[in-house]
Structure 1
Amino acid sequence: MRTIVITGGTDGIGRALALRRLRGGDRVVALGSGPVKGERFLEEARRLGAGDRAVFRRADLASAAVSRAVAAELAQAYPVVDALVLGAYRHHPDRVETAEGFERTFALYVLSRHLLAEGLRGSLERADSPVVLSLCGVGTRAGRIDWDDLQQARGSYRSLRATMQGARANDLLGVSFAERHAGGRTRYVLYNPGFVATGMAEPLRQPARGLVRAMARLFARSADETARQVAEVLDHPPAAPLSGFFRGGPVDLGRPGFDREAAARLHGALQDMLGETVRSDRPGGGGAGRREDRTD
């Protein structure tokens, strides 16, 4: 029986993948911030006769401390992890700071993925065919990384800009992981599923919410179909240390979006962020924005 850890595992693609893996006989640890969705996931697992193989761990992964703690907890509970699927993401129309002083989109979309992949690497390395699969940008040409203001602390906040920067940063996380752990056994897969019908429109303001809903009805693929394709990659991960896919098709990793120097630069920036005491004048952090006090 394999052990699969899925962030964002109680909604959208993550939930569809979690239920598919349970039907296939795997143990699934689903991480999510909502207890209601978590209980629904467990109820569905019980209906499938897989209640003993389904675990829900409530965690707000926008907190770096929580991400670290969850990684350490799972590493101890599961000495062998066969796959880590990084799918947690939430749209924020306004700039929100976590209690630790990080911009919330960057914290959830980038920092948590870095911390979980590094924290669970020991358990992954003990598996027969370990893989980290990150649902991300895979070389998107849209957006850019603002090296001088990674958390949009200066000027006006743009949610789309934050999202697209996160997508590009996640591509670089894969490059960095493969470079720094070149002697390891864990493969890192970057996967962009394209336009998928999930609940991503709900946090949007009108009229954008209605427009996205209408486009989803016309053009989006289902979460179940996407989960089927992702499951195939988990079952048969590529042999290369790093690979990329867009809607199931391979992506050329020789493109500029996968630059090794940029990946090393991002890794250094994350280390600086995560090692600093929270200060309002921290480069790339603090600044104008609504402060969030909870870290559950």
Structure 2
Amino acid sequence: MTKTFVITGGTDGIGAAVARALFARGDHVVVVGRNPEKGRQLAREADRTPGSLAFVPADLSLMSSTRRTADELAGAYPRIDGLVLCARYFRTGRRVTPEGLEGNFALFYLSRVLLGHGLLGALEKSEGPVVVNVAGPGQDTPVDWDDLQSAGQYDGVRAMFVTGRLNDLHGVTFAERHGAGPVRYVLFHPGTTSTSFAGEYDAPTAAFIERQKASAKPATAVVPPILGLLDTPPKEPLSAFSLYTRLAVQAELFSPEAAARLAGVTDDLLKPYLN
């Protein structure tokens, strides 16, 4: 039976590599991204395979756009077998979206929360549904609860790492709220991988990224463990992996108290976009 998978950030890097593997074996892939030409190119590739691909243009740094996208996907696909969250965009300098949110916080964290919420009903109709959040679990960057959106002193690398921490804590909340249902939530760390490294960099950071690309493993090396998670989700409501290695989600980094604190803030921020 053909399965349907939604991938955000699926026109480049890890997302695109996973998309290619899925439609090559006959699945239907829905890629959400900002670049229509890259989306059309992937669709042309899919036309030569047993599977298929649909591209949905969206700016996931805007919660209004994310909510519309979730509604569109839920309407078009009553059953979704897996959601793979890969979209992110690095900025050396801080940017605030038209909705008043710091861009990295909005794209890398809030949009992932909102999509999981909006597609939950369609995921629950699958026999083995799973959300794979590619966010680098296990980082120990401290959370500044008084400045979650890095308004005081912005550093692009730290902002990315701390937002990964927020995804860890959201995984705890998702499992607490929906763990009795069929959807499994997986936090996934790909390690250093040669992706598109989409972003806006100052000169020193750009030079560092080029050095990283030269030594990093290809995105295709990350595909097998992700496919394994999509095909055979873990039994636990929440799990975390660094490639094939399971990480302990009972550690302090996954504190239920911190997760509850973040959930309260997140619910307030997303209230205008939730049912």
Partner of 1:68: 67
The Cα of 1:49 is off from its aligned counterpart by: 5.2
What residue number does 1:59 align with?
58
Q: Matches of 2:16 and 2:101 in 1, distance apart? A: 27
State the match for 1:212 in structure 2: 209
Q: Which residue of structure 2 lines up, in the alignment, with residue 221 of structure 1?
A: 217
User: What's the counterpart of residue 241 of structure 1?
Assistant: 237
Q: CA RMSD in A?
A: 1.5
Aligned to 1:250: 246
TM-score, normalized by length of structure 1? 0.88
1:64-109 CA deviation, whole Å, 9 max, x = no partner?
0111111111111111000000110000111111111111100000
Q: How does 1:22-101 map to 2 (within 5 A)?
A: 22-48=23-49, 50=51, 53-101=52-100
Deviation of 1:156 (Å): 2.7
- Deviation of 1:204 after TM superposition, in Å, equals 2.4
Q: What is the CA-CA distance between 1:232 and the residue it aligns to?
A: 1.3
Structure 2 stretches of 5 or more lacking a match? Answer: none
| Secondary structure in structure 2 of the residue aligned to 1:81 | coil
CA–CA distance in 2 between the matches of 1:215 and 1:33? 25
TM-score (norm: length of structure 2) = 0.95
**Alpha carbons of structure 1 residues 181 and 201: separation in structure 2 relative to 1, 3 Å:** closer
Determine the C-alpha separation between the residues in 2 that align with 1:201 and 1:59.
16
The reply to whether residue 180 of structure 1 matches residue 181 of structure 2 is no
**Distance in 2 between residues matched to 1:89 and 1:33, nearest whole Å:** 11
Partner residue in 2 for 1:286: none
CA contact (8 A) 2:26 2:49 kept: no
AA of the residue aligned to 1:47: R
Contact map agreement 1:129 1:186 (CA 8 A) in 2: yes
Amino acid at match of 1:229: P
Q: Please point out which of 191, 194, 208 is paired with 1:197.
A: 194
Closer/same/farther in 2, CA of residues 246 and 128 from structure 1, 3 Å limit: same
Q: How many residues align?
A: 272
Displacement of 1:274 after TM fit? 2.1
Q: Contact (CA 8 Å) 2:136, 2:191: kept in 1 or not?
A: no
After TM superposition, give the deviation of residue 210 of structure 1 in Å: 2.3
Distance 1:262 1:126, change over 3 A: same
Identity %: 43
Higher RCO, 1 or 2 (CA under 8 Å, sep at least 6)? 1
